[in-house]
Amino acid sequence: MFQLKKTTALLILTTALAGPSLAAAQTAELGAASAPLVSAIARRMLTADVAEYSFKVRVGSGPYDVIGIHRVVKETAPNVPARTSKALFLAHGDIWGFRPAFLTAVDSPALPNDQALPVFLAKNGVDVWGIDFRWTLVPATVTDFSFMEDWGIEQDARDLGVAIGVARVTRALTGSGFGKIHLLGWSRGGQIGYAYLNGESQLPARLRQVKGFIPADIYLKTDVAQFQTLACLRQQATEAAIAGGAFASPVGGLISAIGNDAIADPNGASANVPGLTKRQAALLVGEATFQLQGGAEPAPFYHFTGGTFDANGLPNGLTYSNENALFDFEAAASPFQPNLELAEADAATCEQTDVPFDDHLGDIKVPIFYVGAGGGFGELGIYTTTLLGSTDVTTLVVNLTPPAARIADFGHADLFLANNADTLVWQPILNWLLAH
């Protein structure tokens, strides 16, 4: 049966951290916490033979120092995960936690439950794990964000290490062994993955946890001067907000409101995007995301979901994904995200301010599979892989339109939402996992 005792969890947390000094510090902080170290484990069936287990793990003494951990796995009997040597850990990006990022199909009535990457992989014998970074669990009712002031990339990278450690030990306890596992990081999660591997590369081989990395539609570095300059502008703007006391970005809350509006009253006038209906506003977030980024988008015509536009240039429908699923995806956005995390990530790309989590990219030598979307970061994400020490690098960029029509190409979230994502993206990921 799938169980995780508190004493085991404490061992995981102290040994999974990147280095003895960090382990000691975090253990002391946990010792001061009065809340339970590990929550009760919830189980829900996603299909007839695939279950999701989820629970929370305390990673600090503050009220919001908690991460979520998920496991999606085929069962051989109720509460008995199938034993498998194949495992993949998923790290989400900005705005959305694990479920909306990777399991929208399960929580949206617009899609069948098995139209989700974790379910697809689980049905094919992969033990799938994932994290909710601590900021995704901060309630919408919070108004004092002083606790978020120092929540940056390195904190998320440490939390990712803890969560991977939890996954590995739990797999050992349930009969699948304590071996290293693969990591997929989508969007900001890919940057956090690079940061985690940057630190892990400095540990002895026996303490490393990741055996292969799939950065999904993201870059940490760019050789395109225009996008480096825009990263500098985003960094400066976010740092100015932080200096003014704004430690949290509220963008997720806005996107959630837009998605909920489109679900409740698609033809009504949007209060968030004047001049558009609520449906059009939600489509705009998906298929013309770059228009919401103030001219500082990280890639040309960057968008979540490829779509079409009417004669007036207004969004009027999606090409690859179900629009009702997009609205459910948007509605599930987390209300807040740390501004420091956003500023630090842009600093790594801008390269005018030193950050420690990119100092050892050349020491990352695990196999790499870069997966990009032509309407997202696309081919721009390949450059970061050339800075690594890895000799086993594979790339896949899903381009479904000519370069001149990039605005309508397969989008950043189409990787997981598209009707044919299973053949275009998920099967190649499975093939790579099986080959490694």
Lowest mean pLDDT among 18-32, 238-252, 354-368, 385-399: 18-32
For 24-33, the pLDDT digits (tens) are: 344 445 554 5
| Domain residue limits at 255 | 226-337
User: Strand 87-91 to strand 50-58: parallel, antiparallel, or no bridges (unpaired)?
Assistant: unpaired
353 within domain boundaries: no
Distance of CA 184 to the CA centre of its chain: 8
Specify the 3-state DSSP secondary structure of 135.
helix
416 within domain boundaries: no
Distances (CA, A) of 206 to 16, 68, 201, 250, 306: 12, 26, 11, 41, 43
The verdict on 101 and 145 lying in the same domain is yes
271 within domain boundaries: yes
What is the rounded distance in angstroms from the CA atom of residue 192 to the CA atom of residue 169?
Answer: 22
Q: Which DSSP string do the residues of 361-386 spell out, in sequence order? A: GGG--S-EEEEEETTTTGGGGHHHHT
345 within domain boundaries: no
Question: Residue range 341-364: average pLDDT?
Answer: 98
Nearest alpha carbon to residue 336 among 272, 239, 238, 248:
248
Question: Rounded to 10 degrees, what is the CA torsion of 327, 333, 335, 338?
Answer: -140
End-to-end CA distance of the chain: 29
Report the pLDDT value the prediction gives residue 34, as an integer from 0 to 100.
55
- Residue type, position 306, single letter: G
What is the percent of the chain with per-residue pLDDT over 90, rounded to a whole number?
A: 92
For 388-428, the pLDDT digits (tens) are: 999 999 999 999 999 999 999 999 999 999 999 999 999 99
The verdict on 172 and 272 lying in the same domain is no
What is the rounded distance in angstroms from the CA atom of residue 89 to the CA atom of residue 181?
Answer: 7
The verdict on 166 and 69 lying in the same domain is yes
The verdict on 169 and 58 lying in the same domain is yes
Rounded to 5 degrees, what angle do the CA atoms 27, 192, 322 make?
Answer: 125
390 within domain boundaries: yes
φ, ψ (nearest 5 deg) of residue 222: -140, 145
The verdict on 50 and 196 lying in the same domain is yes
